[in-house]
Amino acid sequence: MSAKRTLHEDWTVTGDPGAPVAVTATPAAVPGEVVADLLAAGLISDPYTDGAERDLAWVGRSDWTYRTSFDHQGDWDGIDLVFDGLDTVARVSLNGTVLGETANMHRRYRFDTRDAIRQGANELEVHFTAPYTYAEAQRDRLGDRPNAYPEPGNFIRKAACDFGWDWGPNLAGAGIWRPVRLECWDTARIEEVVPRVSLEDGIGVVELEVRLKRAAETGVVLECAIGRNSASGDGHFVAEANVQVPAGSDTATVRLEVDAPERWRPHGYGRRTLYEATVAVVAGDEVLDSWERRIGFRTVELDTEPDADGRPYRLKVNGEPVWIKGVNWIPDEAMSGRIDPARIERRLRQAVAAGVNYIRVWGGGVYESEAFYRICDGLGLLVGQDFAFACAAYPEEAPFWSEVEAEARDNLARLAPHPSLVTWTGNNENLWGWHDWNWQDRLGDRTWGAGYYHDLLPKLVAEVDGTRPYWPGSPYSGTRELHPNEQAHGTVHIWDVWNELDYTHYRDWKPRFVAEFGYQAPPTWATVRRMVTDDPLTADSAAMLWHQKAQNGQAKLQRGLDAHLPPVRDFDDWLYYTQVNQARAIRLGLERFRSLQPYCTGAIVWQLNDCWPVTSWAAIDGEERLKPLWYALRDAFAERLVTFQPHGDGLNMVVVNDAAEAWNGVIGFWKCNPEGRIIGRALVQLEIDARDTAVLELEPGAIPKDGEFLVTGREDFPRAAWFTKEDKDMDWPKARCTTEVAVAEGGVAVTVHAESVLRDLCLFADRLDPDALVDKALITLLPGEHATFTVTSDAIAASPELRQALTAKPVLRAVND
């Protein structure tokens, strides 16, 4: 038998005596980290507000000691202290006896306590060495290596973004960041179970690799089973097997077969059927230990065989190609203790609501939690997990090689049950960095990580997992002989547009698969007011600039405004216009890439989420609010998409049907003058197969001339438009409309009747209630049309003054207002 109890209560944290802030036996949260503890104790200012982050550099250069006490009773063969995550360089002591030391945030740790634990009260201490102290010492020992940022994060196995990024703060602290527990057991316990799930000629095969830890030379039995999923099953097992593990043996492989299992399918491709896999260790009539996880039967293939055009990167699930509608994922909070399963589920449901079917877990963060993957399993979100390397050269010498091997083995085993996990990738941008970022001369003959990406990691993926494809890097062209960001081969990152060019240059690219591309904008109004107290508030006020981490970020935003939109008159204009520009840039890029399918097989937007309030590439800001980009993603990722695409001197209408059913119908589109008067009409009869694309070349007479524009009707797909001039040059009439406001269940309905063209109409209800939600944004209306915005907000519904404010600037905006 066994007993497991969490040790999350009554922790304190103490800092260095010479630190700028005296921290003595301050209450601490576990799981959590030290910055949040200091903030909760009132010892520091909120690092998310104004420039307070800059005053916390000392935290990452200080040692920290966490302590708690717990009571223990009873005699057991084994008594283990188990940490699911220690951040990062720690010494663990129990009653003054050192149990062990750690130097890797990305691993789980187990310590045998039998020589140190006492009956009754026990004192547990975890001492953390400052991450900068450790990393800088390793850098000095091994020699410096290139990093995209002037930080030593590549010399410690800690999330790279903890040391700051071009969207994130530097809060490189310490803490017990994942659960800790005491596990007591007799005779034998389960050390690890790795389920390898496959399909063989319609038979579901689950091969369970089981490792045991023994305290007695006693034979045990493994009772293994696969149970029906809760949605359709009756609780009966669909496969069972009992295996005798004789004394002296610590491993066993158990094969179970399920006849014609229901498959797990991605979002948009059918049901997400899950089964329960269980393993029990039994001696006589006693269950000594047990393990259970949800699994799913599905196949995954990555087609990268060269073709006449280069090398594709095509993901197939259950034999069917899936066009990847993806977003990049970073840690959802800079203070990790604030991330709970409910928050993760909110974020992932927001992704699904935007039409996303794929999450790339970026390599500068962490290997995501069980909760993250469990939720993705249930939602049908495909996940690509990077190994934890990003934008830097990493040493391969001791102790790093063995640490990387241990963390890879641990996470490959931990995440193996999850059907949502479909690919492993070796790193983020390090292969690209070696080619293009002036690394080679600076490195000389020093290691930089190639041995991990090309040798160690693919070997471990095959050995530990064996069911999922591996790709050496993002970007990567499939062979070391090619430049890693060659657009005709494999995966690419597109950053020349944001860094150097106008966003219309996305149309210059013809990629096989886009793993990163993005465009910035500030967060929502309510989040801006949370992050800065500047008065007056301007785009270049001090705190706004502190919350812009990208190199020349404000200048790049201004370049985009100058190219497309009318002159900015005040901060309200700047906020609205930059958000509109971000949304337009990403929608233009996504429509370009979707119009290239099946040549192009997917696009992953940088990025879904933020970890604090900041001007960034995110669609959902650090306070969990939807930016206009989120609504643009929902349109651009819609199952049925119509887009106008330039082709030579002409114009094509590209119609994409990503639905499981054929699309048979009629599309109407109109040619209009700047006043919105219709000066030409056309109808197109459609017959498009499921998961197919049609390209229609427009007749010369249907193509708008200078100052005119095209729009489709408002049908069961997002409205498509083509403008011959930028808004700054378009002879738009001043926006005119009438409005109606009505209290509805849970909020307010705001109906806008257009009397002129209304370009990219948005309603920013968060200006009136920070918790308000709006169901749509970026709506272009012609004269005589109307749109109804549903605002979910009890506060606005209850206030006549707030309801009236919904219909005026700066809440209700159009580009031509």
- Rounded to whole angstroms, the Cα distance separating 799 from 696 reads 50
- Residue 138: enclosing H or E segment and its boundaries? helix 131-142
Q: What percent of the chain has a predicted confidence (pLDDT) above 90? A: 96
Q: Residue 233 has what pLDDT?
A: 47
pLDDT tens per residue, range 180-204: 999 999 999 999 999 999 999 999 9
- Rounded to whole angstroms, the Cα distance separating 401 from 451 reads 9
Between strands 640-647 and 650-657, the pairing is: antiparallel
Yes or no: say if 382 and 266 are a contact pair by the CB < 8 Å rule: yes
Confidence of residue 53 (pLDDT cuts 50, 70, 90): very high
Residue 705, C-beta contacts closer than 8 angstroms, at least 6 positions apart: 724
pLDDT surpasses 80 at 714: no
Neighbours of 331 (CB within 10 A): 21
pLDDT surpasses 90 at 694: yes
Mean pLDDT, rounded, of the chain: 96
Coil, strand or helix at 181? strand
Confidence of residue 324 (pLDDT cuts 50, 70, 90): very high
Mean pLDDT of 623-648: 97
Confidence of residue 746 (pLDDT cuts 50, 70, 90): confident
- Residue 683: enclosing H or E segment and its boundaries? strand 678-688
Q: Residue 235 has what pLDDT?
A: 60
> What pTM value is reported for the model?
0.97
pLDDT surpasses 70 at 434: yes
Confidence of residue 234 (pLDDT cuts 50, 70, 90): low
3-state percent helix, strand, coil for the chain, nearest multiple of 5: 25, 35, 40
pLDDT surpasses 70 at 601: yes
Q: Could you tell me the sign of the dihedral formed by the alpha carbons of 669, 670, 671, 674, in that order?
A: negative
Q: What are phi and psi of 139, to 5 degrees?
A: -65, -45
Closest CA to 646 of 759, 504, 488: 504
- Rounded to whole angstroms, the Cα distance separating 160 from 137 reads 17
Residue 329 burial by Cβ neighbours in a 10 Å radius (0-12, 13-18, 19+): buried
Mean pLDDT of 601-616: 98
pLDDT tens per residue, range 526-546: 999 999 999 999 999 999 999
Q: Residue 704 has what pLDDT?
A: 95
pLDDT tens per residue, range 730-743: 999 999 999 999 99
Coil, strand or helix at 802? helix
Alpha helices in 359-510 (DSSP H): 370-379, 400-415, 430-436, 439-443, 450-451, 457-460, 496-500
What is the side-by-side strand order in the sheet with 602-605? 470-471, 421-425, 382-386, 358-361, 324-329, 602-605, 514-517, 492-494
pLDDT surpasses 70 at 462: yes
Q: How many helices and strands in the chain, by DSSP H and E?
A: 17, 42
Tell me the CA distances in angstroms from 98 to 68, 112, 209, one per residue in order. 15, 11, 32
Confidence of residue 236 (pLDDT cuts 50, 70, 90): confident
Domains and CATH numbers, the chain: 2-182 (2.60.120.260), 184-295 (2.60.40.10), 304-524+590-636 (3.20.20.80), 640-723 (2.60.40.10), 737-813 (2.60.40)
First vs last Cα of the chain: how many Å apart?
A: 71
Mean pLDDT of 773-796: 97
Confidence of residue 232 (pLDDT cuts 50, 70, 90): very low
pLDDT surpasses 60 at 231: no
Q: Residue 229 has what pLDDT?
A: 63
Mean pLDDT of 250-273: 96
pLDDT tens per residue, range 560-572: 999 999 999 999 9
- As a whole number of Å, the CA-based R_g of the chain is 28
Closest CA to 609 of 421, 344, 363: 344
Residue 89, C-beta contacts closer than 8 angstroms, at least 6 positions apart: 101, 102, 103, 128, 129, 130, 131, 134, 156, 174
Secondary structure (DSSP) of 45-112: --TTSTTGGGGGTTGGGS-EEEEEEEEE-S--SEEEEEES--BSEEEEEETTEEEEEEEBTTS-EEEE
The partner residues of 390 in beta bridges, in order of sequence, read 428
